[in-house]
Structure 1
């Protein structure tokens, strides 16, 4: 776990939080990606205890509460995001237990307790994928679900130009990189699809579904013009990787 990177990212997210209020939250798994309402990966969450990694502004937890989840828990690196999520959930009468913490650290969450742990477009911020997945395994009951989405590893390795797609980064390259698009410095992590899958298997998970489809609305060309997640680029490459897994019985990590 890189303490310097965590501090850098925490400060960056505290500054950027207002710009991401309500963005990329359930039922949305990612930009131009299928919705949970279509995929139904989580199934019926009525009465379940759920935990969100990278809970952001709280909109995904609000979605879970409206679908009948019983226990709402969330962690986020940013103090500003935790404050915003607390206000949002309180305004709708939802009760949630929120922790200001990086996902690589266990802030004192109950073990063998949660029916579902999920993360919506946040996992690329972890500085230690092994530690994060080990934590998730500890939090979940046997058979509990772990579902996450993140930018597809192919997507930022290619650039869409007037002449078509150009690869501008090796797919084999993994690890931290500067998130240059932000106003303040931030470090993100890049992994191959196989790295996510093998890390899940290593830490006691069984893979149930891998989703790479895109959802291209008929009017999307205009809506997403000149954006990082562009309609034109998404016609060739998936924007989002979604993986559903579950904690196998008697797993040891």
Structure 2
């Protein structure tokens, strides 16, 4: 699917600024096209009803970064960038009834509905950009996101502030993104991916353009400090930053994530923050 002049075939890869509208549009188009292949390639790893925080395979059932799942029953939960709803479906399967999920891609949500039918565990989903959430202020007790949406936003502070807006006082935001340290290295799972090629401090977006020069994929880099400032600037209190080590029992390679690299430096960062009471 494409509404881009010039189609979605990649003609050039560049590093340049990209604003919120261009980023959202490019990534919506890209995910509409990539959703089928993504679910076919990674669906068995993610599981129809599973909550993994990243390509390392760190499982919420084991690490409980959201807290004891029984404590979430009766709370209102929003998942950002849900893909096919695997994480939300895991929550629903553990008795968390008030779960909603959004994704920028309509095709990803179609996969969510397909899996709902297959599993019998249904997740209310909607198409939305994480930069502009269609919910009232203080509507949720928990906002969570496993690599969903936030790696693709140009303004980390604005996106985290939007998540904070829909949190009630006392609510929590827990989200994972590509570890900022990875930005220094080529996105290669092998030996080449162990050599620094670019500056950690270069915040220009990674942009793939079509033949007309229009962005068809955009990914943004924010440093660890940028994410911390985004959390604090949104009025939240940072409680934890988890950098998962590569599990010994995971031999899988996922694009640039691999056991080789994952045992030397982190590939994922998980931030946990709380909205103060009062």
Does the 8 A contact of 1:24 with 1:30 survive in 2?
no
**Divergent runs of 4+, >6 A:** none
Q: Which residue of the partner structure matches residue 12 of structure 2?
A: none
Greater alpha carbon shift after TM alignment, 151-160 vs 74-83: 151-160
Aligned to 2:20: 2
- The unaligned stretches of length 5 or more in structure 2 are 1-18, 210-214
Q: Which residue of 1 aligns with 2:261?
A: 233
Q: How many Å separate the matches in 1 of 2:193 and 2:82?
A: 36
Q: Does residue 216 of the first structure (1) align with residue 216 of the second (2)?
A: no
In 1, the alpha carbon distance for the partners of 2:190 and 2:113 equals 42
Partner residue, 1:186: 217
CA distance in 2, matches of 1:10, 1:227: 20
Structure 1: gaps of 5 or more residues: none
The answer to whether the 8 Å contact 1:211/1:243 transfers is yes
Partners of 1:198 and 1:233 lie apart in 2 by 27
Of 208-217 and 140-149, deviating more is: 208-217
Report 1:60-209 matches (<5 A): 60-107=87-134, 109-122=135-148, 123-159=150-186, 162=191, 165-178=194-207, 185-209=216-240
Q: Secondary structure at the match of 1:154?
A: helix
| 1:105-160 Cα shifts (integer Å, max 9, x gaps) | 122x1321211100111210123322221221121111111000011111231247
Correspondence for 1:37 among 57, 61, 73: 61
Larger deviation: 72-81 or 85-94? 85-94
Aligned Cα root-mean-square deviation (Å): 2.4
Deviates more, 1:96-105 or 1:138-147: 96-105
The structure-2 alpha-carbon separation of the partners of 1:13 and 1:102, relative to structure 1 and needing over 3 Å to count, comes to same
Q: Which moved more, 1:13-22 or 1:209-218?
A: 209-218
Instruction: Give the superposition deviation at 1:52.
Output: 0.6
CA distance in 1, matches of 2:46, 2:229: 26
Q: Return the TM-score normalized by structure 1.
A: 0.86
**Greater RCO (CA < 8 Å, at least 6 residues apart):** 2
- Deviation by residue 1:152-175 (Cα, 9 ceiling, x = unmatched): 111231247658831111111114
Bigger proportion of residues as strand? 1
Q: Does 1:51 align with 2:75?
A: no
Change (3 A) 1:94 1:162: closer
**1:189-233 CA distances to partner (integer Å, 9 max, x unpaired)?**
11101100111000011111111121322462xx43x95111111
Number of residues paired by the alignment?
243
> Are 2:185 and 2:193, in contact at CA under 8 Å, matched by a contact in 1?
no
